[in-house]
Amino acid sequence: MKHKFTILFFISIFVVLLSIGGARPNNKDNYIILTSKDLSQSAQLFYDLRKSDFKVSIVTIENIGSNKPVEIKKYLKDHFNSGYLLILGSEDKIPRPDMYPSSLNHSISHTLPGLTETDFYYSLLKENIDKDEDGFPGELFDDRISINPDLIVGRIPFDDNNTISKIFSNEVSFVENPPQKAVLTSSFIAFPGEIYQDAKIFNGDGARFSELVKGILSCDTVTLYEKNGSFPSVFDCDLPLNKENFYDAIKDAGLVAWESHGSSGSAFSEWWDDKNKNGFPDDGFQFQPFISKDDQFSANGIFFSGSCLNENGKDNLGKTVLLKGGIVFIGSTEISFTPSYFSLPDDGGTESIEYYFLKNLIQGETVGRSLYSSFQYYFNNLLWKNLEDPVEGSLMNIYDLNIYGDPAIIWKLNSSYENKPSRIMPAIGIPITFLSDKTFEVEVNFDKKRDAFVIFPRHNFYINSVSQNSAIIDNEFGLVRLNSALGEVTIKGKIRGSVNGTIKVQNEDGESFVNISASGFDLKDVNFDGTIDTNDFKSIIASFGKTYMNEGFNEFCDLNFDHRVNGVDLFRFLFGE
């Protein structure tokens, strides 16, 4: 779903990395510094820093004779064919041009893909990005756009030498003594059953992304997840997400990444208070910034924002992070799109881009190459994976995400790091009873009022009812949230397929669990009548070609759990796995 907020707000790992001047920095790579004559002092700092590893060139807009993007791009195309481009100067001095992912909307929109200011414009030297010559470059279909960048672009968006000199000094210190710590921060972008685009979507807990990333990072990691409201994150974390914990955690971090809603000046924690106790997210949404541009805080490392709008406008959060000591800030200039169901690296949206960026970064790639390689993989393989938004929104994510900072920075991690074992949840002794015969009944007994999750094996259990009226049911991820539960709570539903697994009761104190083994309805028995026949076939045909965003979609016809009914499901019904 779109990162909403009205405040203007390895299966396939890279076999071949994006070929932009070679796979690794070397003396053949161009490093172009694009600036103005009044910033020559700053340009010289980066020239001296990079000249031993790159073929460095300083180009001024005075040399070009114009600061118009089309003239700058023509000059770059005439003189260079690949490499890195560092822009020294604000968007006023050297404009960040407009690109248009959609041919249906050429204006700024906070609901649909539209006009996007992007430095990515300068990266496409050979590509004709306005094939239909309508003056709206970058349209996915009309311009038949492809993503094969020639230059890797970053920008230090300030117009005075003193500020740029401080940012340069911070970069040098970071490279000489790289911090060996990552901070992963996640809130919600949606809650189970929330209405978006006239359809019920899923539990958009960003902690699922953070848990994926935590598994590949080779450094100390601090996690901050949403623990407020009626439906907090089910995942264990080091600290609950709030401003105080966040600012304390990031001040000595080499990497900071977050998933949340955002605006030009802030990123937000979101929680839901189910005030009417109906178990449905139709009221009680609360937003609180965990970082804001007007706050006092210290930054240190590489930042990746999974929020909307954090690089939007002249005075934005991304610029603030650099002024506070951050080395790099990657963020969106407009709205960004990611599906609420994201849980795997290839599920699409900004979280897929961010995952592969981080995977590349920790393997020793530069910030810029890590991002642009991720762009290309995403464009070639994942553009259509987000089912909640127009495909042009997936392209807009590429235009959206821009680099503030030097794109040639590398985050060096110690090779000797040993991953720490995960925290073992203590036992809390809550009795669980499990009864099954295709349908199931789970009884949980609470001796005092408790807030807790009951966690079922994903996809095998479909929960029909809970005896506590205010319970929140999340069938997509196998969760039941109980708030202030007391006495016996009974959960009933259907079992699909055969399952060997665990049912857990979990809260902030620990967990109880029971191991189970059960056989339920055959997955192909989509109407649960005990037989597989033409009625089931007719149900699949009725849902064929639909996703969960479409009216008439039958989720039980989705036999491979990919949120759509297509030829894969029909083949499985007719012929099995």
List pLDDT tens digits, range 494-528: 999 999 999 999 988 888 999 999 999 999 999 99
d(CA 544, CA 346): 23
The answer for 576, left when phi > 0, alpha when psi is -120 to 50, beta otherwise, is: left
Cα–Cα distances in angstroms (integers) from residue 253 to residues 219, 247, 365, in the given order: 10, 10, 19
Q: Residue 552 has what pLDDT?
A: 92
Same domain, 473 and 550: no
With respect to residue 505, please indicate whether it lies within any of the assigned structural domains.
yes
Is residue 571 in a domain? yes
Domain contains 278: no
190 close to 202: Cβ distance less than 8 angstroms: yes
| 488 part of a folded domain | yes
Same domain, 542 and 570: yes
Q: What is the pLDDT of residue 198?
A: 84
Phi-psi region of 197 (alpha: psi -120 to 50; beta: other; left: phi over 0): left
508 belongs to a structural domain:
yes
Residue 467 resides in a domain = yes
b/e 409-421 (16+ beta carbons within 10 angstroms → b): bbbebeeeeeeee
For residue 189, the one-letter residue type is: I
Q: Which of 476, 496, 519 is the last residue of a domain?
A: 519
- From 492, 519, 546, the end of a domain falls on 519
User: Does 558 share its domain with 506?
Assistant: no
CATH at residue 482: 2.60.40.10
Kindly list the averaged pLDDT for each block of 10 residues, start to end, along the chain of length 577. 42 35 57 98 97 96 96 97 97 97 93 95 96 96 95 98 97 96 97 88 96 93 96 96 97 97 97 89 90 96 97 96 98 96 96 98 97 98 95 97 98 80 75 88 92 94 93 96 94 94 91 92 95 95 94 95 95 88
**Quick one: the chain helix, strand, coil %, rounded to 5?**
25, 30, 50
Q: How distant, in Å, are the alpha carbons of 168, 270, 287, 355, 506 from that of 187?
A: 32, 6, 10, 17, 19
- Each residue's pLDDT tens digit, 351-404: 999 999 999 999 999 999 999 999 999 999 999 999 999 999 999 999 999 999
Q: How many domains does the chain have?
A: 2
C-alpha 322/C-alpha 310 separation (Å) is 13
DSSP string, 377-398: HHHHHTTT--SSS-HHHHHHHH
pLDDT of residue 260: 96
Residues 514 and 539 in one domain: no
503 shares its domain with 541? no
Residue 21 has a pLDDT of 36
Q: Are residues 498 and 544 in the same domain?
A: no
Q: Is residue 528 part of a domain?
A: no
- Using the 8-state DSSP alphabet, how is residue 526 labeled? T
Q: Are 189 and 287 in contact (CB under 8 A)?
A: no
What tokens does 487 get?
Answer: 């006495």
Write the secondary structure of 496-507 as one string of H (helix), E (strand) and C (coil). Answer: ECEEEEEEEEEE
> Which pLDDT does position 20 carry in this prediction?
38
Task: Please check whether residues 562 and 503 belong to one and the same domain.
Answer: no
CA angle 71, 74, 75 (to 5 degrees): 90
Q: What φ, ψ does residue 249 adopt, rounded to 5°?
A: -75, -35
The answer to whether position 374 is within a domain reads: no
Residue 507 and residue 539 share a domain: no
Count of Cβ atoms closer than 10 Å to residue 498 Cβ: 12
The answer to whether the CB of 112 falls within 8 A of the CB of 390 is yes
Q: Residue 562 sits in which domain range?
A: 534-575
What contacts 173, CB < 8 A, 6 or more positions away?
none
Using DSSP's 3-state secondary structure scheme, residue 368 falls into helix
Amino acid at 430: I
249 class by beta-carbon count within 10 Å (0-12 exposed, 13-18 middle, 19+ buried): buried
pTM listed for this prediction: 0.92
The predicted structure's pLDDT at residue 428: 79
